[in-house]
Amino acid sequence: MSEIEKRQMPKAYAIMWIVIAAAYGIWMTFFMRNIVLERYETVSERTVDGYTYTDITGMMGRHWLYPVWVILSVAALLLFIVYLKKILYADNPGRFAKYFCLAGAVAGCVFVVWYGFLSAPNKQGELASFSDKIKYITASMIGLMHPWLFRVWGLLASATVFSNTMYCYRKYDFNSRVGIIMGSIGSAAIFLTVNCPSMGDDDKDFSIPRCSVHWAGALLFAVCCAAPLVIFLFNKARKEKGRFLFGLIFFVSLLLVMLVLLVTVGKSAIIENIPMVAAYILLFLLNFTGFFEKKEAKA
């Protein structure tokens, strides 16, 4: 009997998320406050790749927004306990969980795609052309001009991918401690990235905390949020093959295509969105259609 069949969420998961939320709250309250409200407002910190942004935190002249953001983001982290309890481990998730995840998948995918096409300055200090957006303008670079939208991007993407992955696990009666823990780590990691603005290309230096934390959070988010879906597809493909094998090949191939494009074309939000959009499409097909369901043989 699997843990999902027992329908009781291990307390360790709740404790894990409480510890994550507490550590984040302490970090933001006692370490990041002066950095965000003072250091990130200086001209030197706002100058990235030769262009000086007006406000990379979205809080200049509105410092009261900082405690509001800290409270909201801590609450967003604690909601992951609810996602686990009410979606994965609920006796009967019901229609609310289904429509909540469906709305999240659609809203998340639409927002991520729309955000990836927003304007940002290129290396010449002009608004980027479409070609620049493909080759150079990353999600975090857009965040320098649209810091609050970048925060929404991080919160929405992590919440919707995680909740839909847990709904997928619940629907197919699948469980993976490694998948849940990795998904949790990845979802929490993006909160580091959205609080440490991009350093751009010219001044990239991993000995600088701002740069190292930004990149560490982004890489952990990408790898650890994809892992639960890969683990699920691999296990289902190994046992049932068929369309699960197709889904696994499709998703892993797109991850490889993204890596090739990042090396050959450049890093950009549009290219970075490829695996995220693929994840949303797969989760939509898994959760809300019969595409992956076995068809009964006719007598």
Structure tokens at 283: 């989760």
Query: What distance, in Å, lies between the first and last C-alpha atoms of the chain?
Result: 31
- Residue 103, domain member (yes or no): yes
What is the predicted pLDDT for the residue at 1?
A: 46
- Residue 190, domain member (yes or no): yes
- Residue 299, domain member (yes or no): no
**Average pLDDT rounded to a whole number, residues 101-121:** 92
Question: What are 236-246's pLDDT values in tens digits?
Answer: 999 888 889 98
Q: Could you tell me the pLDDT band of residue 299, with boundaries at 50, 70 and 90?
A: very low
Rounded to 10°, the helix 242-264/209-240 angle is 150
Q: Could you tell me the pLDDT band of residue 124, with boundaries at 50, 70 and 90?
A: low
What is the predicted pLDDT for the residue at 158?
A: 97
For 24-81, give the DSSP string. HHHIIIIIIHHHHHTGGGSHHHHEETTEE-S-SSS-TT-TTHHHHHHHHHHHHHHHHH
- Residue 295, domain member (yes or no): no
Domain count, the chain: 1
Window from 104-113, 203-212, 263-272 with minimum mean pLDDT: 263-272
- Residue 220, domain member (yes or no): yes
- Residue 93, domain member (yes or no): yes
| CA distances to 59, 225, 251 from 146, in Å | 11, 24, 30
- Residue 297, domain member (yes or no): no
- Residue 294, domain member (yes or no): no
Range of the structural domain that residue 259 is part of: 3-288
Q: CB–CB of 158/221 below 8 Å?
A: yes
For 125-168, give the DSSP string. SSB--HHHHHHT--HHHHHHH-HHHHHHHHHHHHHHHHHHHHHH
- 92 backbone φψ class: left, alpha, beta (φ>0; ψ -120 to 50): beta
**Average pLDDT rounded to a whole number, residues 236-262:** 86
Residue 228 has pLDDT above 50, yes or no: yes
- Average pLDDT value for the chain: 89
Window from 68-82, 84-98, 164-178 with minimum mean pLDDT: 84-98
What is the predicted pLDDT for the residue at 202?
A: 60
Q: Could you tell me the pLDDT band of residue 203, with boundaries at 50, 70 and 90?
A: low
Structure tokens at 73: 């983001």
Report residue 34: phi and psi, to 5°. -70, -30
- Residue 287: closest CA among 108, 185, 161, 184: 161
